[in-house]
Amino acid sequence: MTINWSGVIPAITTSFNQDYSIDFAFFGEHCRWLADAGCLGLVPCGSLGESATLSTEEKIALIETALHAVGERVPIIPGIASLSTAEAVWLAQAAESAGCHGLMVLPPYVYSTDWREMKAHVEVVMRATNLPILLYNNPPAYKTDFLPEQIAELAQEHTNLVAIKESSSDVRRVTAIRALLGERLEILVGVDDEIVEGIQAGAAGWIAGLVNAFPRESIALFQLAKQVRAGQGDHAQLDALYSWFLPLLRMDTVPKFVQLIKLAQQMVGMGNARVRAPRLELHGAELENAHEIIRYALEHRPGLDIA
């Protein structure tokens, strides 16, 4: 299955039962709900999927669940991250054997150092598979920053590197990568609250977070942004939808983004707020503030009529 990167691809959350085991039945239902809404692929086992709290066996079981649920309809592109390079290689090969369509490769969870070592890590993983690779650059979270010239170096040396999830929160990275590589790599926005700016700068797609609770609105926002960039869209309609959505999208950019997005899912009736330790569910003023933002958004939810 060929991956179409030019759309909305959720970094899907991992749902837990009351005993914090994985709720595989709901996870499959959630996969189908997102695919039904028009998402072009799914990324399980990413940061939003609480990958750092999952065992390798749980990751493979989640990947297999996603493949069984929607793998014939949309591509499954799991996150590949671990404490060690050897484990990342094992997971990449296991995902390929399971039938995944691509891989999102992250730097190591904990160890962050210089370009030579980070390049060596991702290169070993890329060489271990024949699948197309989406490189995940998220310096705020992983303290590793793949600079545009370093991304260009990797792209020139590895033909299976086909896309970059850019989460540096600097929209100028989109134009910098384009200046070096042209159309060689697909660039996907990985920070929810700069999706419109990223599309205007030339990004092709969106690895999205709030889509887990608001898929129709996410897809509508993406489509409007693409239309406006092409000179065919309604600027006022885009501005109105983005203004409504931004308080929610900003929830994707803070340390407790997992708790906030899962709370939003619970409030729209598509999931629960449970998270695995060391994360804890929101409480007190923090919880009330989040409730207020989500409640307001739901009370003023826009009607959608996007061509």
Q: Which residues pair with 103 in a beta bridge?
A: 133
Query: What pLDDT score was predicted for residue 298?
Result: 97
pLDDT of residue 303: 85
Other Cβ atoms less than 10 A from the Cβ of 70: the count is: 22
Q: Is the pLDDT assigned to residue 307 strictly greater than 80?
A: no
Catalytic residues: 136, 165
44-64 residue pLDDT tens? 999 999 999 999 999 999 999
CATH class of 8-233: alpha beta
Q: Is the pLDDT of residue 212 over 60?
A: yes
Residues 6+ apart with CB under 8 A from 248: 210, 214, 264, 293, 294, 297
Q: Would you state the pLDDT for residue 258?
A: 98
Q: Name residue 205's beta-bridge partners.
A: 188
The sign of the torsion formed by the CA atoms of 63, 68, 70, 72 equals positive
Hunting for tokens 């803070």 — which residue is that?
254
Q: Is the pLDDT of residue 27 over 80?
A: yes
In the chain, what percentage of residues exceed pLDDT 70?
Answer: 99
pLDDT digits (tens, 9 = 90+) for 219-258: 999 999 999 999 998 999 999 999 999 999 999 999 999 9
The whole-number pLDDT of residue 257 equals 98
Q: Given a cut of 60, is residue 7 above it in pLDDT?
A: yes
The one-character DSSP state at 17 is -
Mean local confidence (pLDDT), 210-223 = 98
Specify the DSSP element, H or E, that contains 133.
strand 133-137
pLDDT tens-digit profile of 90-148? 999 999 999 999 999 999 988 888 999 999 999 999 999 999 999 999 998 888 999 99
Nearest partner of 38 among 61, 8, 81, 83, judged by Cα: 8
Confidence of residue 176 (pLDDT cuts 50, 70, 90): very high
- Report whether 151 belongs to an annotated binding site: no
The DSSP output letter for 301 is: P
* Neighbouring residues of 29: CB distance < 8 A, sequence distance ≥ 6: 69
Q: What pLDDT is attached to residue 304?
A: 76
Query: Helices marked H in 43-110 — which ranges?
Result: 56-70, 85-98
Query: Which of 142-148's residues contact partners 24+ apart within 8 Å by CB, and which partners?
Result: 142/106, 142/107, 142/108, 142/109, 142/112, 143/112, 144/107, 144/112, 144/118, 146/118, 148/173, 148/176, 148/177, 148/179, 148/180
- For 76-85, the pLDDT digits (tens) are 999 999 999 9
Beta-carbon contacts of 289 under 8 Å, excluding residues fewer than 6 positions away, are none
- How would you class 133 by CB atoms within 10 Å of its CB: exposed for 0-12, middle for 13-18, buried for 19 or more? buried
pTM metric for this prediction: 0.96
Q: Which residue has the tokens 């060690």?
A: 84
pLDDT bracket for residue 266 (50, 70, 90): very high
Spell 147-173 as b/e; 16+ CB within 10 A means b: ebeebbebbeeeeebbbbbbbbeebeb
pLDDT given for residue 251 in this prediction: 98
Indicate if the pLDDT at residue 87 is higher than 90. yes
Which residues, at least 6 apart from 189, have a Cβ–Cβ distance to it below 8 Å? 166, 174, 195, 198, 199, 203, 205, 206, 207
Whole-number Å distance between alpha carbons of 37 and 214: 10
Residue 305 has what pLDDT? 67
Over the chain, what is the mean pLDDT?
96
The pLDDT tens digits for 12-26 are: 999 999 999 999 999
Confidence of residue 306 (pLDDT cuts 50, 70, 90): low
